[in-house]
Homo-oligomer: A and B are copies of this chain.
């Protein structure tokens, strides 16, 4: 019913495998974020999802494959956010806010935090290049929105490249300080960061 595949049991097996693979990625992400990529072994990841190391290889090829899988899922998620923030019927400031809220939500998950916490050195050259290209797209999106805002006169003149770097820096740093027992909800962080980047710390009277 769910698929055109002739053998009825295969799709659900594929789904099960995908769900298991995701559980492996999530367990890997959690361990990488907590104790470092280099300091984490495949044995520990297998233990975290209660399978043997041999079974783990059914879902992933290597530790690097887990890290790259986390990044790929993250970039898929960010792709959706980017699509939303490209809606030309929305005011540019709202599109910027969408992008910042979405990125903040993603980087606050175990999977999303790896993009901000694990250095690219741990990936092969090819995968690193691929990842960089995807990251550059997200960066370019915010930069373009800021440029557009300046052109429309709704944002003050600034260096969009530097402001974009500051915003992503603030966002990427979240998992470095907010991975605590009682984390600040990502919604609260996003609203405070939005107030900061849109309105600044000075009251209107001081300008």
Enumerate chain A interface residues (CB-CB to B < 8 A). 35-36, 38-39, 93, 117, 119, 121-122, 146, 149, 153-156, 158-159, 162-163, 165-174, 176-178, 184, 188-189, 192-193, 195-204, 206-207
Contact = CB atoms under 8 A, between A and B. Distances in A.
Contacts of A202: 93, 154-156, 198-199
A164 B11 CA distance: 49
A166 B198 CA distance: 13
A166 B149 contact: no
B169 A201 contact: no
A200 B196 contact: yes
Nearest to A36: B121
Q: Number of copies of this chain in the oligomer?
A: 2
Contact of A158 (B154, B171, B195): B195
A138 B52 CA distance: 45
A169 B174 CA distance: 7
Contacts of A188: 159, 162
5 contacts: A156-B202, A169-B176, A198-B201, A199-B202, A204-B204
8 closest A-B pairs by CB:
A169-B173, A200-B200, A36-B121, A169-B170, A166-B170, A38-B38, A199-B200, A162-B192
B156 A201 contact: yes
A109 B122 CA distance: 23
Given A165-B173, A204-B207, A119 B36 contact: yes
A171 B206 CA distance: 25
Contact of A206 (B154, B177, B206): B154
